[in-house]
């Protein structure tokens, strides 16, 4: 004997009912088919009953809608326009609803009667259809066989009586038996129901009563999944799971299984297979007593609407009676507690309840403890709303240290603060309470962290799509496939902006069409862009500033505080006062975000990441010598007096080697900034005005008000540049702007470099940095290579993004 259960999702249309028939007839021997109501019938019945209760005549149209839906299915499946039994059920349903409308009263008893119509209708229709298709079918009214007490709305099953009746009727049947799930009857024969989603329970009761070989639950997903597929897009099917794990997983939210339904099969060790009616060939999920898998976390489950209630006060410590009273009060009012934690030190008990129960709990507890609250023994009952609960489930978690640590680390890194934690005594479950607004993000980051074969999604928000920004997006476009396939990282462009426009798309902006998307976006407003990014509250978010604008740098602290990391070649933030530089770093540390500025110094060369490793490993930098401007190096390498100095500047600008404003390069302001960053990252508190600058530009070229004027002044000074060049040539030297930090003093100046010096052979737009440290004393640590250009800067940004995107270990 096997039991097959089909949910409403499998009975939604004529086509899906045909699929159901395929499943049933592909098997042989005795089969019990338990069916739910068609589609969303139960919800519609409930809605209709509520309308009738409030005196709203709209209940009639809902009734008619339901009637028409069923009549249409009957005419298409059975080729008849009138089904006597079905019409009789509708007639009775209408009479009861009219009664509710007249009396404006809806008792749980009448609601159960109304809801039971769904399964009565579906079982009649499915049985008639199978008969019409030539099958031998036996139709049972479940209310005759599943007996309960009279707790309407969620009746308690009388297993002894029900098992006896089911055995007697079905034990030896070799036919197909169709019966409705969810419905049952009280001792006096009145209709009761087993709670919403209860058809699974009916099927399990029947399977256990008849010692069935297997219970198959057919639904619209490929099995029990690692997370609710509506919340976590990349949820995976779980191949095998134990009853205990499935109970934990279904407890909060895995709607695919009604929690009590596991117990009857569990007690009889009857395997349950969950399968997809619309994808029959996949194996689905097997729920059984023993699986040897070593998967640490089996799934993640959640309950969206939760509130926390707390009982606290010094009286709690001395009078344990309060604790007892507290739980007794909740039990008395039938209020189910989802979560409990206790803090002895703070004399507090905190419980989590489904939000609708929590309001009730708050009132009954406040009333119950009224006098003790007035005496000051107990603080007023606390309630915190708009929360969610999530739990990691897995039987192997108890043997493994560090799962909860990892869970909290992953949440913390994404700026999710945890309100309360609880580990179930079974150790198969670690639960945490988070803000409701953070639930989706939390589920997704945890899913990525614990199901390693999963792809990690990273969300980028970019401002600035000039030369470097464009190059970066192009590199991202060409690399995204490899990143996804080989490194399990899916980097999405979720927001993009330039000084005119901005566009955001949670699903990701196409890297082929980002320009069009941006052009048709909204007008750019930095604050608004930031607010939208924060509101989106997406996991693994990175803000990338590829501008040189202060208004954008000013946004960093708020991003870092929201645990959104910042990657930027913009040097403004890192070169403001030491205090504000330090504050940024501290904010990042405090909120588990990162402020990565590799491209602030020497474009894509790994100067700052190397320096950071040196410092973190305990070494101490005491001297830095460097050529830090690719632009200036290019100018002095190219210029030989044969064409004007100003023309070489123009060429550098055109080729993208200069700052957006080349005057930043020529004034050495840019070199000063880079040196300052190197000094600070080496661990020194240093300010910009402590760097001595020996400017090489004639004073007439400084402080010009426009680029044209600047070019004009440089052109006028051609002789001066020619002399500089010739003098150096005669001396056998090369000109380099050198940045030095030595004995606590910093200088930037144009120097003549002799041929023995390591800087002499620095070609093109290359940069070089020499670090003298405790460990690199005689021979400095040297980093040398291309120090300017859109492509290398873009690849430095890319390296920072990848640093932030590594899958959790
Ligand atoms: P049926 O009508 O077959 O009883 P339900 O709607 O009651 O179907 O349950 C199936 C739905 O449960 C799926 O469509 C899915 O969206 C939802 N669901 C929630 N959590 C999970 C999970 N962990 N695994 C599978 N499905 C889940
Ligand atoms: N039809 C009932 C409900 O929607 C029972 C079930 O589908 O399991 O709750
Ligand atoms: Mg269901």
Does the structure show a pLDDT above 50 at 258? yes
Could you identify the atom of ligand 1 that is nearest to the CA of residue 199? 4
- Ligand 2 centre to CA of 254 (Å) is 14
Centre of ligand 1 from the C-alpha of residue 228, in Å: 8
The set of residues, in sequence order, having a beta carbon less than 8 Å from that of 439 and lying 6+ positions away, is 231, 302, 304, 388, 390
Q: Are strands 501-504 and 137-140 parallel, antiparallel or unpaired?
A: unpaired
> What is the per-residue pLDDT for 295?
75
- Please tell me the number of the ligand nearest to residue 193's CA: 2
* pLDDT over 60 at 210, yes or no: yes
| Rounded distance from Cα 294 to ligand 3 centre (Å) | 29
Does residue 196 line the site of ligand 2, with CB under 6 A? yes
For a ligand 1 pocket test, name from 16, 252, 256, 262 the mutation site with the most ligand atoms within 8 angstroms of its C-beta: 256
pLDDT band at residue 809 under the 50/70/90 scheme? very low
Q: Could you read off the pLDDT of 449-482 as tens digits, one per residue?
A: 888 555 788 999 999 999 999 999 999 999 987 8
**Beta carbon of 197 within 6 Å of any ligand 2 atom:** yes
199 lines ligand 2 (CB under 6 A): yes
**Closest ligand to the CA of 202:** 2
Residue 337 has pLDDT above 90, yes or no: no
Average pLDDT over residues 575-588: 96
Q: What is the pLDDT of residues 484-514, one digit of tens each?
A: 777 788 899 999 999 999 999 998 999 989 9
Is the C-beta atom of 221 inside 6 A of ligand 1?
yes
Query: In whole angstroms, what is the distance from residue 711 CA to residue 650 CA?
Result: 9
Question: What per-residue confidence (pLDDT) applies to 296?
Answer: 77
Q: State whether the beta carbon of 196 lies less than 6 angstroms from ligand 1.
A: no
User: Mind listing the pLDDT tens digit for each residue in 616-652?
Assistant: 999 999 999 999 998 999 999 999 999 999 999 999 9
- Phi and psi at 363, nearest 5°, equal -70, -45
Query: Cβ(39) to ligand 2 under 6 A?
Result: no
Per-residue pLDDT at 169: 94
Inter-CA distances, 646 with 225, 638, 653, 707, Å? 66, 12, 11, 11
Mean pLDDT score of the chain, rounded to an integer?
92
Atom index in ligand 2 nearest the CA of residue 197 equals 8
Adjacent-strand bridge partners of 543: 461, 566
* Whole-number Å distance between alpha carbons of 272 and 293: 17
Q: Flag whether the pTM goes above 0.75.
A: no
> Is the dihedral angle over the CA atoms 216, 217, 218, 221 positive or is it negative?
negative
Residue ID of nearest Cα to ligand 2 atom 2: 197
Q: Pick the atom of ligand 2 nearest to 199's CA.
A: 8
What pLDDT is attached to residue 546?
97
Across the range 773-800, mean pLDDT stands at 91
- Asked if residue 597 has pLDDT above 60, the reply is yes
Average pLDDT of span 203-219: 97
Whole-number pLDDT of residue 452: 56
Cα 204–208–213 angle (5° rounding)?
95
Q: pLDDT tens for residues 759-772?
A: 999 988 899 999 99
**pLDDT for residue 292 is more than 60:** yes
Q: What residues form DSSP beta bridges with 768?
A: 627, 784
40 lines ligand 2 (CB under 6 A): no
Q: Is residue 402 predicted with pLDDT exceeding 90?
A: no
Report the share of the chain in percent with pLDDT over 70: 97
**172 CA distance to ligand 3 middle (Å):** 28
**Looking at residues 378-407, what average pLDDT do you find?**
85
Atom of ligand 1 nearest to the CA of 226: 23
**Residue 256: CB within 6 Å of ligand 1?**
yes
For the ranges 19-23, 363-367, 408-412, the lowest mean pLDDT is seen at 408-412
Instruction: Out of 36, 258, 274, give the residue to mutate to test ligand 2, the one with the largest number of ligand atoms within 8 Å of its CB.
Output: 36
CA of 256 to the centre of ligand 1 (A): 3
Residue-level pLDDT at 454: 59
Structure tokens at 574: 């890192």
Q: Is the CB of 220 under 6 A from ligand 1?
A: yes
**102-111, 296-305, 387-396, 654-663, range with the lowest pLDDT:** 654-663
Q: With 0-12 CB in 10 A as exposed, 13-18 as middle and 19+ as buried, what is 629?
A: buried
SS (H, E, C) 261-297: HHHHHHHHCCCEEEEECCCCCCCCEEEECCCCCCCCC
Q: Which domains, ranges and CATH numbers included, belong to the chain? A: 2-220 (3.40.1160.10), 299-450 (3.30.2130.10), 456-601+797-805 (3.40.50.720), 607-787 (3.30.360.10)
Buried b (16+ CB within 10 A) or exposed e, 240-278: bbbbbbbbbbbbbbbebbbbbbbebbbeeebbbbbbbbe
Identify the band that residue 661 occupies on the pLDDT scale cut at 50, 70 and 90.
confident
Q: Is the CB of 758 under 6 A from ligand 1?
A: no
Predicted confidence (pLDDT) at residue 658 exceeds the cutoff of 90: no
Element (DSSP H or E) covering residue 33:
strand 31-35
Counting from 1 in the atom list of ligand 2, the atom nearest the Cα of 201 is: 8
Is residue 390 over pLDDT 80?
yes
pLDDT score for 408: 87
Pull the structure tokens for residue 97: 């609803």
What is the 78 CA–ligand 2 centroid distance (Å)?
24
pLDDT of 6 over the 50 cut: yes
pLDDT in tens, 139-151: 999 999 999 999 9
Ligand 2 centre and the CA of 17: distance in Å?
16
Whole-number Å distance, alpha carbon 40 to ligand 2 midpoint, is: 8
Does ligand 1 have an atom closer than 6 angstroms to the CB of 219? Answer: yes
Q: Which residues are catalytic?
A: 674
Q: How confident is the model at residue 396 (pLDDT cuts 50, 70, 90)?
A: confident
Instruction: Label residue 319 by pLDDT band (50, 70, 90).
Output: low
- In tens, the pLDDT along 692-717 reads 999 899 999 988 999 999 999 999 99
The answer to whether 199 and 181 are in contact (CB under 8 A) is yes
Task: Give the CA distances from residue 695 to residues 575, 699, 739, in Å, rounded to whole numbers and listed in that order.
Answer: 19, 9, 12
Q: What are phi and psi of 80, to 5 degrees?
A: -130, 160
Of 35, 199, 255, best ligand 2 pocket probe by most atoms within 8 Å of the beta carbon: 199
β-pair type (31-35, 2-6)? parallel
Say what percent of the chain tops pLDDT 90. Answer: 78
């Amino acid at each position: 004997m096997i039991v097959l259960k089909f949910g409403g999702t499998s009975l939604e249309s004529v086509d899906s009912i045909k699929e159901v028939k395929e499943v049933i007839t592909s098997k042989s021997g005795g089969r019990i088919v338990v069916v739910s109501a068609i589609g969303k019938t139960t919800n519609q019945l409930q809605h209709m009953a509520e309308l009738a209760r409030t005196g709203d005549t709209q209940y009639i149209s809902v009734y008619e809608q339901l009637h028409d839906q069923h009549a249409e299915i009957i005419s298409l499946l059975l080729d008849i326009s009138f089904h006597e039994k079905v019409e009789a059920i509708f007639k009775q349903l209408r009479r009861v609803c009219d009664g509710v409308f007249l009396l404006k009263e809806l008792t749980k008893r009448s609601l159960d009667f109304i809801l039971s119509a769904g399964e009565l209708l579906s079982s009649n229709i499915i049985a008639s259809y199978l008969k019409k298709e030539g099958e031998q079918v036996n139709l049972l009214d479940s209310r005759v066989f599943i007996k309960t007490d009279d707790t309407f709305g969620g009746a308690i099953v009388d297993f002894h009586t029900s098992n006896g009746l089911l055995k007697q009727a079905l034990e030896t049947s070799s036919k197909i038996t169709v019966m409705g799930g969810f419905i049952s009857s009280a001792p006096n024969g009145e209709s009761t129901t087993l709670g919403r989603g209860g058809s699974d329970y009916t099927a399990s009761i029947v399977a256990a009563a008849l010692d069935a070989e297997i219970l198959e639950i057919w639904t619209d997903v490929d099995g029990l999944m690692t997370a609710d597929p509506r919340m976590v897009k990349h949820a995976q099917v779980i191949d095998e799971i134990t009853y205990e794990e499935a109970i934990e997983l279904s407890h909060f939210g895995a709607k695919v299984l009604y929690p009590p339904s596991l117990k009857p099969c569990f007690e009889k060790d009857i395997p349950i297979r969950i399968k997809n009616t619309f994808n029959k060939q996949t194996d689905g999920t097997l729920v059984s007593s023993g699986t040897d898998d070593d998967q640490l976390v089996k799934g993640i489950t959640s309950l969206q609407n939760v509130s926390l209630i707390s009982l606290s006060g010094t009286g709690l410590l001395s009078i344990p009676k309060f604790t007892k009273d507290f739980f007794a009060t909740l039990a008395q009012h039938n209020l189910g507690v989802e979560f409990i934690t206790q803090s002895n030190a703070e004399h507090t008990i905190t419980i989590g309840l489904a939000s609708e129960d929590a309001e009730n709990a708050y009132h009954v507890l406040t009333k119950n403890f009224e006098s003790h609250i007035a005496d000051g023994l107990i603080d007023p009952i606390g309630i915190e709303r708009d929360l969610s609960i999530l739990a990691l489930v897995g039987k192997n978690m108890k043997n493994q240290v560090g799962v909860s640590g990892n869970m909290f680390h992953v949440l913390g890194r994404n700026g999710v603060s945890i309100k309360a934690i609880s580990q179930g005594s079974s150790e198969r479950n670690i639960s945490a309470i988070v803000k409701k607004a953070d639930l989706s993000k939390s589920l997704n980051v945890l899913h990525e962290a614990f199901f390693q074969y999963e792809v990690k999604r990273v969300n980028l928000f970019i401002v600035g799509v000039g030369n470097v920004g464009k190059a970066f997006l192009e590199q991202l476009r060409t690399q995204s496939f490899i990143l996804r396939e080989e490194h399990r990282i899916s980097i999405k462009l979720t927001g993009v902006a330039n000084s005119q426009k901005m566009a955001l798309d949670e699903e990701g902006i196409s890297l082929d069409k980002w320009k069009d998307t941006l052009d048709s976006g909204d007008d750019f407003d930095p604050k608004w862009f930031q607010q939208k990014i924060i509101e989106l509250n997406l996991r693994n978010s990175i803000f990338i500033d590829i501008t040189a604008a202060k208004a954008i740098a000013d946004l960093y602290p708020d991003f870092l505080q929201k645990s959104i990391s910042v990657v930027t070649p913009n040097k403004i933030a890192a070169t403001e006062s030491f205090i504000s530089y330090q504050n940024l770093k501290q904010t990042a540390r405090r909120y588990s975000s990162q402020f990565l500025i590799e491209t602030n110094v020497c474009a894509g060369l790994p100067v700052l990441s190397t320096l950071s490793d040196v410092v973190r490993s305990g070494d101490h930098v005491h001297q830095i010598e460097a050529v830090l401007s690719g632009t200036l190096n290019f100018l002095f390498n190219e210029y030989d007096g044969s064409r004007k100095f100003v023309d070489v500047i123009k060429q550098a600008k055109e080729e993208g080697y200069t700052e957006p404003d080349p005057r930043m390069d020529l004034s050495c302001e840019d070199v000063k900034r880079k040196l300052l960053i190197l000094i600070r990252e080496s661990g020194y508190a240093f300010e910009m005005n402590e760097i001595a600058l020996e400017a090489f530009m004639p004073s007439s070229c400084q402080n010009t008000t426009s680029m044209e004027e600047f070019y004009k002044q440089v052109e006028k000074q051609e002789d001066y540049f020619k002399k500089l060049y010739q003098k150096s040539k005669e001396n056998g030297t090369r000109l380099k702007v050198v940045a030095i930090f030595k004995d606590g003093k910093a200088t930037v100046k144009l120097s003549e470099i002799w041929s023995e010096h390591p800087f002499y052979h620095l070609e093109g737009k290359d940069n070089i940095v020499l670090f003298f440290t405790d460990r690199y004393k005689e021979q400095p640590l040297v980093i040398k290579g291309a120090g300017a250009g859109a492509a290398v800067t873009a690849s430095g940004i890319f390296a920072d993004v990848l640093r932030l995107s590594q899958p959790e270990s």
